[in-house]
Chains A and B, each alone.
Chain A
Amino acid sequence: MSDECAARSIFAAVPHTAGTGRGVIAIERDGLAIAHLAARATQLAQLTERFREHFGMVLPDGARRVAAHGVAVAGIAPQRWLLIGEDAGEEFVSGRLALLEHYAALVELSDAYAVLRLRGAQVRASLAKLVPIDLHDTRFRPGDVAQTVLEHMPVTLWRLEDAPTGEPMIELAVGRSFAVSLYEALRESATEFGFCFEPTAKG
């Protein structure tokens, strides 16, 4: 990646803490490679097989996310997924294109999303003020994916395995243009619990 285009954080110019404490910690997931994967008509079986061969994972059937070897795939609609590569660089999508294009449309969206990882004891309490879905431990389990709306902003959420501390970890992807507005909403909702922002996290 050209140095010139090494992204300056979308969140560089916003306040990075609010309130006292660390009830909610937001970590910017910069540098992810993201692509939209949509199965071609009648090619789902072949795509699934090819995907399994190459990534060692079964494409989830439904709103679930699976991950292996630095690649995650999240079901966002019937026969549609987000493919997310950790620290995968520009070649992530172009490299996979040849492999999958006969079976699917693969469209680069690495720059289209801002992704935040939220962790902390009050993540659910904070998100309850923002999204109209049930994020209770038993209803939104690790690996679950949800597409919903956060103060009029379309968002995609997925729950990761809990942190070693037992705190829930949820990642939230939003259109890049909404990132600052979303961040502000999140920061305000978490202020009573103590909010802090941390730059890019790997893994």
Chain B
Amino acid sequence: MSVNRLEGEGAIERERTLSFKFDGRRYSAHPGDTLASALLAAGVSLVGRSFKYHRPRGILTAGSEEPNALVELRSGARREPNTRATMIELFDGLQACSQNAWPSRAFDLGAVNSALSRLFVAGFYYKTFMWPAAWWEKVYEPAIRRVAGLGRASAESDPDCYEKVHAFCDVLVIGSGPAGLAAALTAARAGARIIVCEEDFLPGGRLNGDRHEIDGTPGSNWARTAVAELRALPQVQFMTRTTVFGAYDGETYGAIERVSDHLAVPLAHQPRQRFWKIVARRTVLASGALERTVVFGGNDRPGVMLAAAVRTYVNRFRVTPGRRVALFTTGDDGWKTAFDLLAAQVEVPLIIDARTQVSAALLQRARGHDVQVILGGQVLSTAGSRALRRIEVLDRGGRVRRVRVDALSVAGGWSPNIALATHLGMRPRWSETINAHLSADLPASLCVVGAAAGEFSLAGALRSGAAAGREAACSVGFAAPLPSWRTDDELIDSTPLWFVPGSRGKAFVDYQHDVTAEDVALAVREGYRSAEHLKRYTTLGMGTDQGKTVQLNGHALLAARTGREVAEVGTIAARPPYTPVAIGALAARERGRNFRPYRFTPSHRWAEARGAVFVDAGQWRRAQWFPLPGETDWRSTVAREVNTVRAAVGVCDVSTLGKIDVQGHDAASFLERIYANSVSTVPVGRVRYGLMLRADGMVLDDGTVARLAEGHYLLSTSTAHLGQVMRHLTYAQQVLWPQLDVQLTNVTEQWAQYAIAGPLARTLLEQVCADALALSNADLPHMACAPLRWLGQRARVFRISFCGELGYELAVPARCAEPTVRALMQAGESLGVTPYGTEALGVMRIEKGHVAGAEINGTTTAQDLGLGRLVSQRKEFIGRVLAGRAALSAPDRPSLVGLKPLDPQARLTAGAHLLGMGAPARLQNDQGFVSSSAFSPTLGRWIGLGFLSRARERLGERIRAYDPLRNLDVPVEVVQPVFYDPEGLRVKG
């Protein structure tokens, strides 16, 4: 089966054989192979079909820049489309399928698109799907969706896990080719803390693909020794299979380590991939260069391969892409491919060099192998239905000859791989010397070396790497001697040939998106002159490969068509990620249950044991209600809880509410500046309601202020607003009034707190702590607080109520939470006590007209909330000035009202719009909205709170609550927002 496997040593383990399947057919390969090398070895050159024209496509490269050989890897939940065959490390049992081909890759019906290519030119979508407009959603979009996309994503949940890791180093070296290794060795020997990231599973870069010697040993051996030295150093972290995909602010880089992609399934406790966030004091970018192709007719046919990739397959994988391989080159480097093929006993019938003059040494060597050489020649076209059979060559004399080949290696010159050096917005500059873009305006922390810096010789790469390594080490305080290595001499001359003018057939400037030279010409005819516009109009460079192998040729074509130099046209900015990154890797652990951490109250386990149903309240898990056996409808559970509290007594865990301890000689003065109402005058042992505004005059939060002692207050906040309030107070303390003596401590986590509410609340509490505290109205009136000993601990009781009944809150150290709630339930058993959850709490606060998060939503003022009378006119406080803006007290501004459906059983929904009785449901008739609604078991009907324009004049008016989402239109009466015990007598009971 391995028709194209060569003899001799490479970087594969010939002794072991792996078995894999491609499109259902079984093949064999060796450890060290990629899927691409294994397919080539088996003589498979057709790997898939292209996106638009369904052209047969093969393997163009040997790296992550591969545009053509995209396959679906694995099956079931692990199926991953668009996987580059050149990056798939072969494992036993691997399964892959070709993409974009039906019924098979050899006979693909979609190839009819190629015949219709006159229709599918650049801008096809923009021009075709414009009219009729009504067709867009019904016809065009569904049709486009059916044919769009590359491959099929698995619809199942990803079974693998991913990790995120934070790493720090003195020097980050990106790439482990000769330049990267030289930099890493130099800096590491000096003692700097180093991370080396290598995309490949085999470090060494071109040293594995080319036949070089360093200090008299083969380059691949030198690389292996260098890596071993680095790995042995404790301050070095050497990571293979790791792609640095993005450069970010703050010397931060993102990298993906493919921990398990080379295995059938990840090992136990190992993620599939790790996302590394690397913060590096210095970075050496040694990402090499990317070889370009030339734009000629049929430059996409399977069998056409970049010349350096051919060398990689021959030297590293011991595979040849064909048995009769021609070379089309624009520089000296390409000739190496011919010689390496010849050394491997592969026939090279022809070398076509677009240059008219080349080094005599090259010519002599070619002649020595009886290879025909055409100088000043160009490949006009290729032929072959599913694989390359023949090329047409135009020689200097204008003659066209046809040559039978089964592979063509193309060396169009090298572009430094500087994507990462442009992620932060640096524009590359054109170099006349190397006819490619180089990085420019680099930050001081980043240095580009080797081929990435245009140093295309091995000696240059090693030299620039070592110099950068030393410089980086020195800059972080390590003295490094400069090593040097002996290498063979190389010829690196090259003259670019961007495109072949007389090309016959489609000549591609973007393989993945099927953009041809003709599309560029069309774009120019339609007025596009900038590289960025060309990109967007033609989709040139917008594939997952970002056009790495041929985009520059497209820009050169644009330059030629618009009569400019390539330098004038410029190039596009590369954006992260450098290669595709799985979203799962970025999410890492933060998915599903771990999307955000849960917070549990101290008696959570007790509530669980009581069968509580929990609800997410921010990060908190709060008991929503406590169903009894036999209760199947949550509404009946909530109704029972409400009725029990109103008639007897209930206990609710309110530990999640924020608690802030405020101390200091200036605590009173500080709080006066914070709260809109007067709070500091509250006597010791008493509690007062407090309203806090933001600087813009909107309400930030409401809560209570308890004065525990002189200069010692305890504030409560809503559960959701604790963080904001703490930040607000800290800002005021540290920035606005640092001269005040105030100390703030967030004590929320210290205390478990239980609301005990209902007409029998005092009776219950007396049963458990009568000996510790007198609870009569005289001793502990409404809005009083007192310390007590409870279960041997310091505890506190607050006589406050949110639900409108006689109520207490008992605060105990968190460790006492479970014994406390158990004691309360036990003591209340004979009283009929019930635990109640947030839902019953919500119902009761709506019955009482207390505002909560739905009303204090960041856009409402004290006046909107009906709390205007609280706002002090006699002091300065945060928010006072801007709360006085005229528009905030305009009569049309919606303010709080109660709403009662005329039909008591009619459901009222939060979010419904308030409209006049006969007014059509249009935005201009909108008069407000329902903010909270509930079925009130106490009143036996639905009730709601809402905001209504000119609310004060409209009590008794009948309007509509219109909810188009739920298709409800309910006539309601505008009422006072207090539905239950409006005199507030019950809390004083």
Q: Is B683 an interface residue (CB 8 A)?
A: no
A112 near B814 with CB under 8 A, answer yes
Q: Would you give the 0/1 interface string for A80-110, flagging 1 where the beta carbon is closer than 8 Å to chain B?
A: 0000000000100010000000001101111
Instruction: Tell whether, in the assembled complex, residue A109 and residue B813 are in contact, meaning their CB atoms are under 8 Å apart.
Output: no
| Residue of A whose beta carbon sits closest to that of B744 | A38
Cross-interface CB contact of A40 among B193, B741, B751, cutoff 8 Å: B741
Q: Which of B65-73, B490-498, B597-605 contacts A (4 or more CB under 8 A)?
A: B597-605
Are A4 and B819 in contact (CB-based, < 8 A)? yes
Evaluate contact between A41 and B739: CB separation under 8 angstroms: yes
In the complex, what's the smallest C-beta–C-beta distance from A176 to chain B, in angstroms? Answer: 5
Q: Mark B656-678, 1 if CB is under 8 A from A, else 0.
A: 00000101111000000000000
The answer for the CA separation of A180 and B590 in the assembled complex, in Å, is 16
What is the CA–CA distance of A87 and B594 in the complex, to the nearest angstrom? Answer: 34
B269 near A41: Cβ-Cβ < 8 Å: no
* Contacts known (A42-B741, A132-B166); A2 close to B749, Cβ less than 8 A: no
A191 to B401, CA, bound (A): 65
Could you mark each residue 752-795 of chain B with 1 if its beta carbon is under 8 Å from any beta carbon of chain A, else 0? Answer: 00000000000000000000000000000000000000011110
Residues of B within 8 A of A109 (CB): 745, 747, 749-750
Chain A residues contacting B482 (CB-CB under 8 Å) are none
Of the residues B165, B279, B750, B819, contact of A108 by C-beta under 8 Å? B750
Q: Do the beta carbons of B743 and A180 come within 8 Å of each other?
A: no
B597 lies within 8 A of A182 (CB): yes
Cβ contacts under 8 Å, B167 to chain A: 128
Asked if A107 and B745 sit within 8 Å, CB to CB, the answer is yes
Contact of A111 among B165, B279, B813 (CB under 8 A): B813
Verify if B484 is at the interface (C-beta below 8 Å from A): no
B600 neighbours in A (Cβ, 8 Å): 177, 180-181
CB distance from A39 to the nearest CB of B (A): 8
Q: How far is the CA of A170 from the CA of B599 in the complex (A)?
A: 23
Q: Does B555 contact A (CB under 8 A)?
A: no
The answer on a CB contact under 8 Å between B818 and A8 is yes
Distance, CA A36 to CA B660, complexed state (A) = 12
Residue of A nearest to B655 (CB): A177
In whole angstroms, what is the CA distance A136 to B589 when docked? 23
Q: Are B819 and A129 in contact (CB under 8 A)?
A: no
* CB-based contact B750/A2 at 8 Å: no
A176 touches B602 (CB 8 A): yes
Contacts A136-B193, A177-B600 given; indicate if A107 touches B269 (C-beta within 8 A).
no
A112 to B165, Cβ gap below 8 A?
Answer: no
Q: Hey, which chain A residues are within 8 Å of B269, CB to CB?
A: 18-19, 191-192
- The one of A8, A108, A178, A192 in contact with B270, judged by C-beta atoms closer than 8 angstroms, is A192
Interface residues of B in 227-272 (CB under 8 A from A): 268-270
Q: Tell me the bound Cα distance from A188 to B164 in angstroms.
A: 12
Q: Is the CB of B745 within 8 A of A38?
A: yes
Q: How many angstroms from the CA of A42 to the CA of B164 in the assembled complex?
A: 44
Q: Which residues of A contact B602 (CB under 8 A)?
A: 111, 176-177
A164 to B749 Cα, complex, angstroms: 34
- Cβ of A69 within 8 Å of any chain B Cβ, yes or no, is no
Interface string of B583-600 (1 = CB under 8 A from A): 000000110001011111
Find chain A residues with CB under 8 A from B815 CB.
5-7, 111
- Is A167 on the interface with B (CB-CB < 8 A)? no
- Sorting the interface of chain A by its residue count into under 10, 10 to 19, 20 to 34 or 35 or more gives 35 or more
Nearest neighbor of B167 in chain A, beta-carbon distance: A128
A contact residues around B954 at 8 Å (CB):
none
CA distance A6 to B791 in the complex (A): 10
Cross-chain contact A41 with B819 (CB below 8 angstroms):
no
- Does residue A1 face the partner (Cβ distance < 8 Å to B)? yes
* B702 located at the interface, meaning its Cβ lies under 8 Å from any Cβ of chain A in the complex: no
Given contacts A105-B663, A181-B599, is CB(A113)–CB(B749) below 8 Å?
yes
Q: Which of B813-854 contact A (CB under 8 A)?
A: 813-816, 818-819
Bound Cα distance from A53 to B277, whole angstroms? 46
A153: chain B residues at CB < 8 Å are 597
Nearest-CB distance from A64 to chain B (Å)? 20
Residues of A within 8 A of B537 (CB): none
Q: Does A201 contact B (CB under 8 A)?
A: no
Q: C-beta contact mask, A115-155 vs B, less than 8 Å → 1, else 0?
A: 00000000000001101111010010000000000011100
- Report whether A132 and B277 are in contact in the complex, using a CB–CB cutoff of 8 Å: yes
| A127→B597 CA distance, assembly (Å) | 16
Given contacts A151-B590, A152-B597, A177-B749, contact A134 B741 (CB under 8 A): no
Chain B 559-618 residues near chain A, CB threshold 8 A: 589-590, 594, 596-602, 605
Q: Which residues of B contact A108 (CB under 8 A)?
A: 750, 794, 813
User: Is A107 in contact with B597, judged by CB distance below 8 angstroms?
Assistant: no
Chain B's closest residue to A127 (CB) is B166
B168 touches A (CB below 8 Å): yes
CA distance A105 to B743 in the complex (A): 6
Q: Which residues of B contact A163 (CB under 8 A)?
A: none
| Residue of chain B at shortest CB distance from A180 | B600
Question: Is A175 touching B791 in the complex (CB atoms < 8 A)?
Answer: no
Q: Are A136 and B168 in contact (CB under 8 A)?
A: yes
Are B599 and A107 in contact, with the CB atoms below 8 A?
no
A selection of 19 A-B contacts at a CB cut-off of 8 Å is A5-B819, A6-B815, A40-B741, A107-B745, A110-B750, A112-B750, A113-B749, A128-B167, A129-B163, A129-B164, A134-B166, A139-B168, A176-B602, A176-B814, A177-B620, A180-B598, A184-B594, A189-B163, A192-B269
Sorted nearest first, the 8 A-B pairs with minimum C-beta distance are A2-B792, A181-B597, A105-B743, A112-B749, A41-B741, A177-B599, A111-B814, A38-B743
Q: Contacts A4-B816, A105-B743 given; 9 further ones with Cβ under 8 A? A: A5-B819, A13-B605, A19-B269, A38-B743, A105-B745, A128-B167, A132-B277, A152-B597, A153-B597
